Amino acid sequence: MKSNVMHRVFAVLASLAGAMMLTFLAAPAASAASSVYLTVNGVPTNQPSLVPLLIEGHAYVPVRAMAELAGEAVEWDGGSCSVLIRTKPAAAEGMSCRGVQLWIDGKRTSEELKPIIRNNRAYVPIRTATAAFGMPVAWDNVKRSVNVTKKAVDSLAAYHLLPDGRYRIEKLAARQIERIQEPVTTSQLRSIGADALARSEKFEATVMTGHGDVLVKLQKVSLAGRSIVMPQDIDQFPLEYVITPDGNKSFVVADNGIWLINSAAKKLQRISPLAYKGKTFSMIAKEGPTNDEHWMLYWNGGVRPSPDGTKLIYTSNKTNRSPMEAALFTYDLATGAETRIGKTDGAMYEIIGWLDSQRVLCIKEYDSVRTTIAVNMQGEERELDLPDIEAQLFAVQDDRIAYYVPHNDGDEFHIASIDSSSELHDIATLRSQGSIRMRGGQAFSLHGSYLAFIYVPNDEPMARYLKVIQLNTETVTDIDTFPLGAQASAAILEFAWADDDTIVAVIHEDEA
């Protein structure tokens, strides 16, 4: 069992040019079509990656999603059919592919209930998840839900960073950062002063979701001369919240539609179509597969605004009641037109991000084959020829992608541009002396001058540090020290770009 932990948030100022996209991604509420669902701190979710399974009376949870909630590292070793949590085994001995295995801190577990693979996701029993991640995970038989209790950030401190990566103790009085949400809930959050929040105009609205009315609590905040609407409490916000990069438009997303927030009238206006091919949400939900109790309908999943703020991109399974299909749609905010651009029937599209305002990068799974594709607004798909079959996509922005290739002696990090023909052109390659960790947050700074990622040094398997790459000069800054007073167990759990020259990092520390 893990020891108790605490999290602290530090602002890391490294004179880094680049702002950040204003985007919140909160957990949506559960759909009535799903008979088993997950709650995090009492808030239901209906994200496909978080849906638990109930098999022969035992509840299983998706291991990667649970690891992200706990801020832990998890990897899949296809050669040995192994799920690796936190650290890799010291040697490959015993790692043969004889059924799915689970390794925690380099040791193979001997639980009676083994991990399973469903729809290319690894699942573990809830008892195993509790032991692995130190978060209480419980089954509610009455509500048929798996309940996860996630600890909140405990305290806050902000420190300047010297050019060589060392910290200088100095409170940032002018940048009073009241709270930074973890990227599982919020992919990006501009630091908003406590005084601005104190002057915010609070209001409430009711959203008619597919499973009933949901009350949402919002606030209008004055920031940099304009008004931005945001949740009063993102941790307790019951639906999904999205805001365009310029901050001018914000939305609430439920399982059955998208609502535009009218900040002047303090009201919500539904903008997504009420029906698809003549059938409403409730009609399609009733037509769901009777032989799959885990299937649920989602009208708009993973909503992301385009860089120019004119369109939304999302996936939906309203086109086909198959559990393995997720079609790709765009919504034009000016005309109100919804267009299906991922047109392969039976395919599952997973959005990685916008390459530019006319192309989206996706993972497409069809007939058990996964490919990386660029899709334009006319639905034309071009496959990206990544140089290594093991390449893991990390980030995408402004016609550029970041990906890494795992190696035993140190992962190889790549940054490449993608031209109009979807051809890859290498920009920079960095061989790290450790393994790279996939995390939420925006790896690229908004202006694209910098890119940051978390890594684990080969000789310090419990450490978590940051590397920041200046893309114009291809210089690298290692953030591998912590402020005075930090414990020896300190490790960077998450990070996000907080403003033009600040990375905000959540620091994990074991309690004594």
State residue 88's pLDDT score: 65
Closest CA to 398 of 446, 454, 461: 446
Residue 198: exposure state from Cβ atoms within 10 A (0-12, 13-18, ≥19): exposed
Closest CA to 495 of 444, 425, 460: 444
Do 206 and 342 lie in a common domain? yes
Asked whether residue 260 is assigned to any structural domain, the reply reads yes
Asked whether residue 37 is assigned to any structural domain, the reply reads no
Do 85 and 158 lie in a common domain? no
Return the CATH number at 123: 3.30.457.10
Do 80 and 202 lie in a common domain? no
Longest Cα–Cα distance of the chain, Å, equals 64
In this prediction, residues 303-331 reach a mean pLDDT of 89
Do 317 and 287 lie in a common domain? yes
Asked whether residue 219 is assigned to any structural domain, the reply reads yes
Do 142 and 174 lie in a common domain? no
Domain boundary (148, 174, 202) is at: 148
How many structural domains comprise the chain?
2
Domain boundary (148, 180, 205) is at: 148
Q: What is the mean pLDDT of the chain?
A: 73
Domain boundary (148, 168, 198) is at: 148
Asked whether residue 221 is assigned to any structural domain, the reply reads yes
Asked whether residue 228 is assigned to any structural domain, the reply reads yes
What band does 190 get if pLDDT is binned at 50, 70 and 90? Answer: very low
480-499: pLDDT as tens digits:
777 666 777 778 777 766 55
pTM exceeding the 0.85 threshold for the entire prediction: no
Asked whether residue 36 is assigned to any structural domain, the reply reads no
State residue 155's pLDDT score: 30
Range scoring the smallest mean pLDDT among 28-37, 101-110, 168-177, 398-407: 168-177
Q: Tell me, what DSSP letter sits at residue 48?
A: G
Is the model more confident about 289 or about 269? 269
Return the CATH number at 485: 2.130.10
Do 129 and 169 lie in a common domain? no
In this prediction, residues 164-176 reach a mean pLDDT of 33
In this prediction, residues 18-32 reach a mean pLDDT of 27
Do 134 and 233 lie in a common domain? no
Do 212 and 160 lie in a common domain? yes
Do 200 and 85 lie in a common domain? no
Radius of gyration over every alpha carbon of the chain, rounded to an integer in angstroms: 22
Asked whether residue 13 is assigned to any structural domain, the reply reads yes
Is the model more confident about 356 or about 44? 356
Asked whether residue 34 is assigned to any structural domain, the reply reads no
State residue 404's pLDDT score: 86
State residue 186's pLDDT score: 31
State residue 375's pLDDT score: 95
Do 365 and 390 lie in a common domain? yes
In this prediction, residues 408-422 reach a mean pLDDT of 85
Do 174 and 131 lie in a common domain? no
Q: In the numeric block, which tokens belong to residue 3?
A: 């020891």
Domain that holds residue 311: 5-29+153-510
Do 213 and 342 lie in a common domain? yes
Alpha carbon distance 81, 19 (integer Å): 40
Question: Which of the residue ranges 49-53, 121-125, 203-207, 404-408 has the most confident prediction, judged by mean pLDDT?
Answer: 203-207
Return the H-helix or E-strand segment holding 361: strand 359-366
Query: Please, are residues 129 and 135 in contact by the beta-carbon 8 Å criterion?
Result: yes
In this prediction, residues 368-391 reach a mean pLDDT of 87
